[in-house]
Every structure is written in structure tokens, then in C-alpha cells.
């Protein structure tokens, strides 16, 4: 295992940032800067083509935040202005003062620069002393690997899965992002550098006019070593694809269901992840604010979100506003306890800071966003859960999900449903399946939770239709009732 170094670029800029913030501090009630330098590489193998390319989450730039008399403004730039700290501070101060004086939302500056006014009066942003840094660890570094060797592994994965009879095509992909962030305020100096990776194996099976697809994925704050995890899942994927060719349509109705950890994690993410983002509280777009301290699920439902406490793609030392990561207890034995906050919505509502202020990039606004969202394990075994089902379905391999935090509707889309009759699998398979319900009803119906615990971080989370960040979700197997179609 090797330690991830901090970005040489950010290390070279650190003293300039510290000095510039020190020069700016006397003019404002609060000032800070976030510096980002995220590199990355992606590899893909598909029929007739292998390629490398740059993943979407690559960025380099800085965002300054300042507050005066309750007003908060931000100024983002792709490079630090000026030859030294003094000229940098003068330039940034001019832009910030223009934004503080104006009523618009856009500032002016050099090409690639952006300014934003948050037109609300906030309590003073806290700046408690903290100096800390974090270096992640990797076993095999994708940034120094020979591209041909990585593409050869991905090609082998897809060709092994493809038999030309049942599985007629396959593709594989590996993405890696090397994250490096520095945060400086008058009393804080934080630095973190780590890598996260994700890999996918997609298969396509055909019988006559029927074409079915499924996948396996793996992820973590790791490197190329995750490809070994993906290879271990290839045989199970081939068997599943063969089963899917005989998949039938499900009769619409309400059923007992066992959700695998991926599906259960997405239920947590969609049900009370987006619904407890406190900027949605502030904007009046979340029904959950009316239920704080009240029952929203069965006694078996305990749910967390946090970048601390677990290690997956949604983990970090500090968020994009310089708040140290925490683990937030959202639901405690069925009682809604707390939301997850960005800095400004927490200040506006008088709520604790939870370390969930995240930006898609330095040039984007910080919102309250999920990190790692999951149900806590229970006391049942998976076999006990399966045996308890008189008639129902086990659901696995999420395709997508959506929610309505204002009205608490939820939909999950899965690729594989396996029929359960008298506590055993009947052999009947359905695909695809749409799962829906009213969030409190679905959570109240949770009657068994397994002792397993598994997180998956191979997806992304958007704020509405935009503002994507890396997250993970998961937990145990969960038994509940949902409407299926």
C-alpha cells in the first residue's frame, strides 16, 4: 500500500493562500478559500474498441467565500491571480467588494472566473481552529500503470463473459479520480488527498427477439485492485443473464419484498436522503421538516449519512466548505432525528453543521448533499428473512431511482426480481421491475433487517437534474412491502 501525495500544484500554492487569506481577513467578518486539483483517468473495453479518456470529475481551481454584515459572496477562479499573496488579495478583495455592493448574482473577472452573491443575511460563519490533513492509501496506482495492461485486463473481463451463444456482447470500464483539496481560513488549514475508483462489467444476452442486460460493479477508495473484485463476479453475472432470457412480466400489485443491500441503500438514499437535505428545508421543498422528532418508520429502521465512520467513495476528511466530516443519525429506531446540512442552510435554520456541503466543482455552488447513506444492520439472518416470505420477490441490481421530497413518493427500478414461494426461490425471474410507494408506508412496513453490511459507491447523485457528486449507499438486506409492476 502506498500513501497518496498531496497535489504538487496545491502544495506550491499553499503559502500564497494562507498569506492572502490573512491579508483579506481584516476587511471581512469571515473569509476562506477552497483549492481543488483533481486528476483522473478512465479505461473502457467494448467490442472492436479500447480507449482511455479523462473522467468527468477532473478539475483545478479556487473559490473564495467572504461574509460581511451577514451577506455572503463567493468568487471562483481557475487560477490564482497576481504574482504574490499581496496582489492576489488585492484582486480578490476588489471582486468580493463588487459582489457585496451589487444586487446581481454574477460577478466580473478574468476568463474562467465566476462570482456569486447569496442574497440572504446569515449569522456569522464559524471558524473554529483546526489544522489537519489526510492521505489515502492505494495498492495499485492507476495513474502510473501502463494503459495497455489495464486495457488488457478489461478486455479479458469482457471476452470471458461473452460466450457468443447466450451472452452475445459485453463491455467493461474502470474510472479513477485522484482527489486533492486544500481549505484555508484565518483559523483553519486543511489538506486531503485520496483516490477513488469504480469498475463495471456489463453483459447483454439474446434469445430470439429477447435482449436482456445486467451488470456487476465494484468501488472504493482504492486503485486497480478493484478489478480483481470485479473478475470474481463474472460467473454469477453469466448465470444471471441466462436466467433473464426467460424473465416474465410481473403481475402489478403490492408484495412482500427482500431488497438486497444495493436496493436497500437506494431506498435510504431516495427516501430520507434527499428528503433531509436542509437546503430543501430552507426552501420549503421537503416534507420531512414537519416530522423531525416523529415516527417515520418501524422500530427496525435506523439510518445514517456521513463521510466519517465508513470508507467508500463518499468518504472524506472535510467537505467543500471546510467542515470536518461527521456521521449523522437521521432515523433512530423509526424516529426522524436530524437532517444533513451545508454551512449556509444550517446557519439560516440554526441547525448543526454535519459536513455535507459539497460542490460538483470549485465553480459550482455548495449544496447540502449526501455522502455515504445507509441503513444500520439488524439482527435477522438472510436465510431467516427468505424463509419468512410466503409469497413475494427478492429485488436486486438497481437501474435507477427517484423521489419526491415534498410529497414523499418514491420509485426504484431494478433489473432482477426472483420469485419467492413458501420461503424458497421458485425459479421464476422477472425483469425489469418498477418498485413504488409512499415513503412512511414503505419504512413502516420494514419487518426484518439482516446483520449484513455492504456499501456500493459505483454511482453518482444529482441535485434534481444537475450538480453531480460521488456518493455511496447500502447497508443490510431489508424486508418490506412495495408496489411492483
pLDDT tens for 51-92 read: 999 999 999 999 999 999 999 999 999 999 999 999 999 999
Nearest to 177, CA basis, from 65, 41, 290, 74? 41
111 within a domain of the structure (yes/no): yes
Identify the band that residue 107 occupies on the pLDDT scale cut at 50, 70 and 90: very low
212 within a domain of the structure (yes/no): no
Instruction: Quote the number of domains for the chain.
Output: 2
CA distances from 192 to 318, 329, 472 (A): 8, 25, 19
Domain that holds residue 480: 253-484
Residues 6+ apart with CB under 8 A from 341: 278, 279, 349, 351, 352, 353, 354, 356, 357, 368
192 within a domain of the structure (yes/no): no
Average pLDDT over residues 31-42: 98
160 within a domain of the structure (yes/no): no
Please state which of the ranges 121-125, 165-169, 215-219, 272-276 shows the lowest mean pLDDT. 272-276
Q: How does pLDDT run across 402-420, given as a tens digit for each residue?
A: 777 667 888 899 999 999 9
pTM value is 0.94
Identify the band that residue 109 occupies on the pLDDT scale cut at 50, 70 and 90: very low
238 within a domain of the structure (yes/no): no
Q: How does pLDDT run across 356-405, given as a tens digit for each residue?
A: 999 999 999 999 999 999 999 999 999 999 999 999 999 998 877 777 76
Q: Do residues 324 and 462 both lie within one domain?
A: yes
Q: Do residues 111 and 257 both lie within one domain?
A: no
32 within a domain of the structure (yes/no): yes
161 within a domain of the structure (yes/no): no
72 within a domain of the structure (yes/no): yes
Whether the upstream peptide bond of residue 432 has omega within 30° of 0, thus cis, is yes
Q: Does the CA dihedral 421-431-174-161 come out positive or negative?
A: positive
Nearest to 453, CA basis, from 373, 375, 370? 375
Q: Does the CA dihedral 72-73-78-82 come out positive or negative?
A: negative
Per-residue pLDDT for 199 more than 90? Answer: yes
pLDDT at 79: 96
> Which of 101, 119, 134 is the endpoint of a domain?
134
> Which of 93, 108, 134 is the endpoint of a domain?
134
Q: Do residues 129 and 260 both lie within one domain?
A: no
> Which of 83, 100, 134 is the endpoint of a domain?
134
Please state which of the ranges 237-241, 284-288, 448-452 shows the lowest mean pLDDT. 284-288
Residue 30 contacts residue 67 (beta carbons within 8 Å) = yes
SS3 302: coil
Amino acid at each position: 500500500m502506498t500513501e497518496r501525495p498531496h497535489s504538487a500544484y496545491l502544495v506550491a500554492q499553499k503559502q500564497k493562500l494562507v498569506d492572502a487569506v490573512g491579508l483579506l481577513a481584516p476587511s471581512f467578518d469571515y473569509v476562506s478559500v477552497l483549492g481543488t486539483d483533481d486528476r483522473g483517468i478512465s479505461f473502457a473495453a467494448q467490442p472492436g474498441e479500447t480507449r482511455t479518456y479523462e473522467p468527468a470529475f477532473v478539475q483545478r481551481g479556487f473559490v473564495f467565500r467572504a461574509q460581511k454584515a451577514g451577506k455572503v459572496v463567493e468568487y471562483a477562479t481557475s487560477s490564482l491571480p497576481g504574482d504574490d499573496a499581496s496582489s492576489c488579495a488585492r484582486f480578490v478583495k476588489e471582486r468580493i467588494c463588487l459582489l457585496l455592493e451589487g444586487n446581481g448574482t454574477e460577478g466580473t473577472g478574468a476568463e474562467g472566473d465566476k462570482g456569486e452573491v447569496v442574497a440572504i443575511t446569515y449569522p456569522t460563519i464559524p471558524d473554529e481552529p483546526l489544522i489537519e490533513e489526510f492521505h489515502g492509501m492505494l495498492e495499485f496506482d492507476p495513474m502510473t500503470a501502463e494503459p495497455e495492461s489495464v486495457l488488457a485486463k478489461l478486455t479479458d473481463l469482457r471476452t470471458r463473459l461473452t460466450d457468443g451463444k447466450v451472452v452475445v456482447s459485453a463491455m467493461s470500464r474502470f474510472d479513477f479520480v485522484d482527489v486533492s483539496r486544500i481549505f484555508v481560513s484565518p483559523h483553519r488549514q486543511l489538506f486531503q488527498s485520496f483516490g477513488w475508483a469504480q469498475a463495471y462489467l456489463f453483459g447483454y444476452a439474446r434469445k430470439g427477439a429477447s435482449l436482456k442486460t445486467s451488470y456487476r460493479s465494484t468501488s472504493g477508495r482504492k486503485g486497480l485492485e478493484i478489478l480483481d473484485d470485479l473478475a470474481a463476479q463474472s460467473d454469477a453475472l453469466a448465470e444471471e443473464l441466462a436466467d433473464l432470457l426467460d424473465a416474465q412480466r410481473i403481475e402489478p400489485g403490492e408484495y412482500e419484498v427482500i431488497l438486497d443491500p444495493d436496493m436497500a441503500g437506494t431506498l435510504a438514499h431516495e427516501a430520507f436522503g434527499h428528503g433531509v437535505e436542509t437546503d430543501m428545508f430552507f426552501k420549503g421543498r421537503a416534507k420531512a421538516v414537519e416530522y423531525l422528532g416523529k415516527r417515520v418508520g418501524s422500530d427496525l429502521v435506523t439510518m445514517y449519512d456521513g463521510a466519517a465512520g465508513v470508507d467508500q467513495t463518499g468518504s472524506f476528511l472535510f467537505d467543500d466548505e471546510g467542515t470536518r466530516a461527521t456521521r449523522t443519525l437521521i432515523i433512530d429506531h423509526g424516529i426522524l432525528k436530524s437532517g444533513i446540512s451545508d454551512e449556509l442552510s444550517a446557519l439560516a435554520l440554526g441547525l448543526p453543521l454535519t459536513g455535507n456541503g459539497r460542490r460538483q466543482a470549485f465553480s459550482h455552488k455548495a449544496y447540502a448533499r449526501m455522502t455515504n447513506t445507509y441503513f444500520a444492520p439488524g439482527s435477522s439472518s438472510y436465510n431467516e428473512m427468505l424463509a419468512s416470505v410466503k409469497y413475494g420477490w427478492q429485488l436486486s441490481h438497481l437501474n435507477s431511482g427517484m423521489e419526491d421530497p415534498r410529497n414523499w413518493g418514491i420509485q426504484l427500478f431494478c433489473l432482477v426480481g426472483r420469485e419467492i414461494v413458501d420461503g424458497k426461490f421458485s425459479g421464476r425471474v422477472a425483469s425489469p421491475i418498477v418498485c413504488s410507494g409512499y415513503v412512511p408506508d414503505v419504512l413502516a412496513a420494514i419487518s426484518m433487517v439482516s446483520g449484513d453490511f455492504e456499501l456500493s459507491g459505483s454511482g453518482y447523485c444529482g441535485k434534481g437534474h444537475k450538480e453531480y457528486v460521488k456518493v455511496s449507499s447500502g447497508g443490510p438486506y431489508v424486508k418490506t412491502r412495495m408496489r411492483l409492476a
